[in-house]
Amino acid sequence: MNHRELPPNMVPLLGQERGLLLGKIVMLGLLGVPWTFIPEYWMLWAGLTAMVGWSVLVSLKRCRVAKAYRRQDEQRAYEAQNKIFGKVTRLGHITDAFVQNLRGRSGVLIGALGKELLFYNPWAPKAGNLAVFGPAGTGKSSTMILGTLLNVWNMLGKGALRFSIWVYDPKGELYFVSAAFRKWCGQRIFLIDPFGVTGKKTFYNPLDCVARAVIFMTGELRNWCAFIANCLIPEPEGNKGKTDNSFFREAAKLFLQRLMVYLAVFETLNCHPVRLRELVSCSESNLVMIGNKMRTYEHQLTNRPDTSAKDKEKFRNLEILVQGYGERLLDEMNARNFPSTRQEAEQALDIYDGSTDFGKSTMHSDFPLEEILDEKSTAYVVMPGSKSGTHGQFSSWVSAQMIETIARQEKPSKILLLLDEMGNMPRLPDDTIKKNFALLRSLQARTATFWQSPSQPKIYGDDIAKLIMDQSSLLAAWSIRDPDMAKEFERRSGQTTVKKRSYAKDPKAMEHSWSYSSQEALEPVLSETEILQLPDDEMLVAISGQKMLRMRRIPFWKIGLMRRVAQKNPSEPHDGYPPQDTVEWPY
């Protein structure tokens, strides 16, 4: 309610009322003269005195009201100065300095703020990993992922942000749309597609790293075997401690490690998952023979006179490892629980059947993972949705192996891991997840994870889910349906001071003027209700240490250059672009 909307007689001007009051008081004083010198007309003077006295009382009241409204005007003028507010927070604006730094054309496409496209450089100071949340079918692939893969400024031009990309492609569409263009830009294209979704038959043996550890004597044989065993037999979703089956799982992991060491040392050329599956299922007599062979192992170059002392030490360490594993294998076979241990290992390797095309695709490799770490390569891991339930373990194994390969590199190399639909990917080993989000920053590795809901990271347990959120320098979300996620972004939007005004009347004195009060209160910049009701084409972006951004999601086909270079997606009808979506940005 505004006092200027009140009737004019209720808004007297203080200066005028003061003048009138002074005049009336003088008039009241002058009436004393006729009372003194002409008393016979006392009735007239009494009436005039009463009239002037009443007028003085009215003016006093009007002066009091005028003072009250004048104080209100002064209070409003004082409140208009921002310096009196306790906190002033707002959403990010295009004029903010940190937003200006996002206007470069290289990096990960975020979206549009106003009419400006914004890109996030994961290798900028204080930048890092990304975590993106959006329900299924809302365009995670067509916006941020393909907007990054089709960005020519990441590959060509002066000052281009050159880096390699590892892409988990659960549908194959990312390869179809972007691979040809990236190859034209000079990128080396690597493909792991065991089911031939792309029309190309590829081969990748995830046990190559074990064989090479023996061939090149890197000293990593034991570590690689333990890592692969954790990939083959992961912890159950959300597991926080020991379960009833944990004993057999751990025993099966050790059993697999023994056999992997045997393959790497004695059958180096046949060191692949299919052969490992055969050894797990072989007869006990064959396992005894394997154990005895390992227990008596001696490297043929250990005692040669031309072998250097350094090499002799490596060979001796390998002998100790193999002999020890052989003895333990024989001991484990005599345990009462060995049949259950073997059954657990057989289940882990069930999909690696040498009579299937998938099994044959894992018997050798087209390339080693180290070749991707040259800052000019793109690798796609394609796993069709129809096979993700049965064979998804392979894609998570390969992705985890890529992370381990990065961790073992001595020289940093820029690489971005784009893990689409990570919540539907079979569980990665906990140690690998921790290593990826907490330790690989110094090696220039960055990860962009894409989830359908905030509950999906919890398949790794609450601690790792919190680690993923805390170690992601950029959080983006749209079509938010989860109240907990809405509260998280409400908290990240910050709080600001708002002025609350109230007007009231005393119910016992309704003839009196309105009383006015003003106070400051803290409110979130975006409330939970506002976040849950955001339009589908809007997104919220929280960058570490900066104001939160409310932006538009931009599919790649709204950017003219990306639309021209994108190849047809066979899974989409016609050209795959909604007819109402036209180009808004030419570059």
At 136, is the secondary structure helix, strand, or coil? coil
Q: What is the pLDDT of residue 582?
A: 84
- φ and ψ of 561, to 5 deg: -65, -45
Using CA atoms, how far apart are residues 207 and 277, in angstroms rounded to an integer?
Answer: 12
> Phi/psi of residue 200, each to 5°?
-120, 130
pLDDT at 388: 87
Tell me how far apart the alpha carbons of residues 127 and 104 are, in angstroms, rounded to a whole number.
Answer: 15
Name the residue among 556, 552, 452, 436 with its Cα closest to residue 149: 556
- In order, the DSSP letters of 250-300 are HHHHHHHHHHHHHHHHH-GGG-SHHHHHHHHTS-HHHHHHHHHHHHT---T
Identify the pLDDT of residue 204: 97
pTM as predicted: 0.83
Please state, in angstroms and rounded to a whole number, the distance separating the CA atoms of residues 564 and 428: 37
- How deeply is 331 buried, as exposed, middle or buried, from its count of CB atoms within 10 A (0-12, 13-18, 19+)? exposed
How many of the other CB atoms lie within 10 Å of CB of 455? Answer: 13
Structure tokens at 45: 């003077």
**Does an H or E element contain 304, and which?**
none
Name residue 421's amino acid.
Answer: E
CA distance 120 to 463: 27
Q: For residues 476 and 133, what is the distance between their CA atoms, to the nearest angstrom? A: 6
Q: Cα 555–561–563 angle (5° rounding)?
A: 50
Distance CA 130, CA 422 (A): 13
pLDDT score for 89: 78
* Tens-binned pLDDT, residue by residue, of the chain (587 aa): 444 444 444 444 556 666 777 777 777 677 777 777 777 766 776 777 777 777 777 777 777 777 777 766 666 666 565 444 556 678 999 999 999 999 988 999 999 999 999 999 999 998 999 999 999 888 899 999 999 999 998 998 777 788 999 999 998 899 999 999 999 999 999 999 999 999 998 999 999 999 999 999 999 999 999 999 999 998 876 555 555 578 889 999 999 999 999 999 999 999 999 999 999 999 999 999 999 999 999 988 888 888 888 989 999 999 999 999 999 999 999 988 999 999 999 999 999 999 999 999 999 999 999 999 999 999 999 998 889 889 999 999 999 999 999 999 989 999 999 999 998 888 899 999 999 998 898 999 999 999 999 999 998 889 999 999 999 999 999 999 999 999 999 999 988 877 777 767 667 766 666 666 667 777 888 999 999 999 999 999 999 999 999 999 999 999 999 999 999 888 776 566 777 778 888 87
Cα three-residue angle 128-105-131, rounded to 5 degrees: 30
> DSSP string covering 513-567, please?
PPEEEEEEEEEESS-HHHHHT--TTEEEEEETTS--EEEE---GGGBHHHHHHPP
pLDDT at res. 235:
82
CA distance 60 to 25: 11
pLDDT of residue 123: 95
The alpha helices in 334-440, defined as continuous H runs, are 338-348, 357-361, 385-407, 430-438
Q: How far apart are alpha carbons 363 and 271 in whole angstroms?
A: 8
Query: Smallest Cα–Cα separation from 287: which of 318, 253, 254, 332?
Result: 332
DSSP code of residue 577: S
Q: Is residue 96 within 8 Å of residue 547, measured between CB atoms?
A: yes
Q: What distance in Å separates the CA atoms of residue 216 and residue 74, rounded to the nearest whole number? A: 83
Which pLDDT belongs to residue 574? 58
Say if CB 499 and CB 156 are below 8 A apart: no
Q: Which residue has the tokens 């009250």?
A: 68
**Rounded CA gap, 192 and 381, in Å?**
5
Q: What is the pLDDT of residue 305?
A: 82
State the Cα–Cα distance between residues 417 and 378, nearest whole angstrom: 10
